Amino acid sequence: MSFEHLNLDASLLRAIESCGYTAPTEIQNKAIPLAIAGRDLMASAQTGTGKTAAFVLPALHRLINNPAKPGHGPRVLVLTPTRELATQVSEAIRDLGKFSRLRSGSIVGGTPYPPQIKMLRAPLDILVATPGRLIDHFSQGRIDFSRLEVLVLDEADRMLDMGFVDDVERIAAALPTDRQSLLFSATLEGEVRKVSQRLLKDPERIQINGVKDNHASITQHLHQADDLGHKHALIEHHLGQAEVSQAVIFTATKRAADELSRRLREQGHRSAALHGDMNQGARRRTVDQMRRGQCRVLVATDVAARGIDIKGISHVFNFDLPMSAEDYIHRIGRTGRGGASGIAVSLVGPQDWGKLAQIERLTGSPIVRQTVDGLEPRRPEPKPFDQRAKRRNGPPGGGKRRFGGGGSKPAGGGAGNPQIRSKRDGFAPKRRSA
């Protein structure tokens, strides 16, 4: 199927061509005709599948072809969980709407209010926003939603995970009831399903390839790590490999991101931290440095790195495993972008086997175990039984979508998985520092 078959406006086809897209992705093929027909949608599509264009293109098509009602408020509202994702969506709107003369703007937290207030006073076609700051403006009566035609909830599962459910429902309640609603989410079950029942009208469900297929271009490995010192030694080893052109390393906390980035800089790596304590300007500058290749290693937390779309990222490292299995999917999706292949390496500490079991269950396959000569783990991998006992006795996490639900079994490849030894010429084993 080509883009011509999707009956999109000619100005959009021109923009698609200038973006270099030759054929629609699966989610675009399925979602665009239904969205153009005016249907509400709930689509399960991960980042990296082309989901942004799957809602931006029909939204722009509608704006171009339908006359606007009187007023100056936005006709399309896209809600995203994070500022970075809002920026990515805004960039897609700019690129795909460049021949359409539509006005778009974004409202995100961590940036000054006055330019946003000024923007909301002028006529606007598309507004991309994070829920918290949007609610601020809405509560002050600064937004006119009377001519809103389309609501998009992007990465709805994350939005709910981050506690935005009340904000999202409050915003939706202020919108015209005859609007179209498009929901995109990694999962369509649980909270997402409940919220969609309240906010969507007879939605068409779209499920595209499973997670595993979406990440076919990403090779996944793991190393068993004894302790923090072992993790540092493994990271140092990997960053010493020429094949790592650019990397994102995920840590569990902002402090850990700062500390690891500082440590790597001291070792001579071009490294920077990216996390939610940094203001929007600093975050944008850091991402730009990465995009321009001035920075080789980005040490990031989950929220800050969400939505980052940089083609040069060859490797993702999980220095700490994420708090939810869905985050693992989002993390590794930072590599293997735009048709490239990528490598994701996870460091699994003694407390992490329960988290790993959840990840392997979600992805549907065991992650290949690897060792590095001279940096082998001191202990054998715990057997699945020990892992269950550890989870029963220990309290990792607790929330519904968090790890630690107990009773779960690794999807396979646990204790009996053959260890694949990395054969890397020229690697000299180093002493570990604690």
Contact positions vs ligand AMP (CB under 6 A): 21, 24-25, 28, 47-53, 309, 337-338
Q: Minimum distance between the CB of residue 49 and ligand AMP, rounded to whole angstroms?
A: 5
Among 178, 172, 105, 161, smallest CA distance to 135 is for 172
3-class SS letters over 250-280: ECCCHHHHHHHHHHHHHCCCCEEEECCCCCH
Of 53 and 172, the one with the shorter C-beta distance to ligand AMP is: 53
Of 54 and 411, the one with the shorter C-beta distance to ligand AMP is: 54
| Residue 187, CB-side half-sphere exposure with 13 Å CA sphere | 20
Among 78, 253, 92, 252, smallest CA distance to 155 is for 78
Q: Minimum distance between the CB of residue 233 and ligand AMP, rounded to whole angstroms?
A: 34
Of 25 and 209, the one with the shorter C-beta distance to ligand AMP is: 25
Of 91 and 277, the one with the shorter C-beta distance to ligand AMP is: 91
Q: Minimum distance between the CB of residue 370 and ligand AMP, rounded to whole angstroms?
A: 28
Of 47 and 181, the one with the shorter C-beta distance to ligand AMP is: 47
Q: Minimum distance between the CB of residue 106 and ligand AMP, rounded to whole angstroms?
A: 16
Q: Minimum distance between the CB of residue 355 and ligand AMP, rounded to whole angstroms?
A: 25
Q: Tokens representing 17? A: 């061509």
Q: In this structure, which long-range contacts are made by residues 400-403, counting pairs with CB atoms below 8 Å and at least 24 apart in sequence?
A: 400/190, 401/161, 401/190, 401/191, 401/324, 401/326, 402/323, 402/324, 403/323, 403/324, 403/325, 403/354, 403/355, 403/358
Q: Minimum distance between the CB of residue 317 and ligand AMP, rounded to whole angstroms?
A: 21
Distance CA 335, CA 312 (A): 8
316: left (phi over 0), alpha (psi -120 to 50) or beta: beta
Of 123 and 338, the one with the shorter C-beta distance to ligand AMP is: 338
